Amino acid sequence: MTLAPTTILYEGKAKQVYATADADWVVLRFKDDATAFNGVKKASIGDKGAINCRISAHLLTLVAEAGVPTAFAKVLNGRDQLFRRVEIVPVEVVVRNVVAGGFAKKLGRAEGERLARPIVEHFYKSDALNDPQINEDAAIVMGWASAWELACMRERALQVNDVLKAFWDARGIDLIDFKLEFGRAGGAILLADEITPDGSRLWERGTGRHLDKDVFRRDLGDLGDTYRELYQRVFGTEYRAE
């Protein structure tokens, strides 16, 4: 496949989606923009787009090898990836292994408490509403996803959790939680978005140091340095711009 981006279909906070000459394929372009609190806090972080592009391709490939169908096809260049065109399911799936973030806040618990088993949560994908948490009943009754799709997404999210937990574990990093998005294509449910430190919490084992976008959300340091360090841990080599 040699499909080039043509017109822009959608501009998100961290990525752009382009059409290609083939209606079945789109190009995802990773931006250097970092945002938090639904776009209220913004910055441009050098190398972020290219690092996330490489990390996401690596993790999506691992997940696909473990049997989870994904919309990811291949990396086109330093920032662009070819993806199967899907209809995004407007239900974000979060998997949690350790109490943190929104879960800690809403339940008044300290961050860091290990959960006895992973918890799967659902959020309605809506910037206007700040992605409110919903349950599976609400998703079905409101017509956002069918019971079969929700069961499929839950099973796949837990499978992804197993793969990612083992991956980060081998690099001295605890996978605390992460968010996934799925899409529909040809009657199938595919993992349809990036897997990056933008949408995951990754804590250094032993120190609890944040190696993810919370560094930006919480002003804990330089996000570019953090992502370059993470790149080194993933690939075993220093990040160099192309």
Closest to ligand 5GP by CB, 19 vs 138, is: 138
The dihedral built from the CA positions of residue 193, 8, 217 and 126, taken in this order, carries a sign that is negative
Whole-number minimum distance, CB 238 to ligand 5GP, in Å?
25
Residues that bind ligand 5GP (CB under 6 A): 94, 100-103, 131, 177-179, 198-201, 213
H helices within the chain, ranges in order? 48-65, 101-107, 136-141, 147-169, 214-217, 223-235
**Closest by alpha carbon to 121, among 71, 67, 148, 157?**
157
Q: What is the rounded CA–CA span in Å between residue 161 and residue 206?
A: 21
Closest to ligand 5GP by CB, 21 vs 112, is: 112
Whole-number minimum distance, CB 178 to ligand 5GP, in Å?
5
Closest to ligand 5GP by CB, 156 vs 201, is: 201
Write the CA distances from 184 to 29, 31, 88, 146, 153, integer angstroms.
20, 24, 6, 11, 11
Closest to ligand 5GP by CB, 19 vs 136, is: 136
Residue 4 DSSP one-character state = P
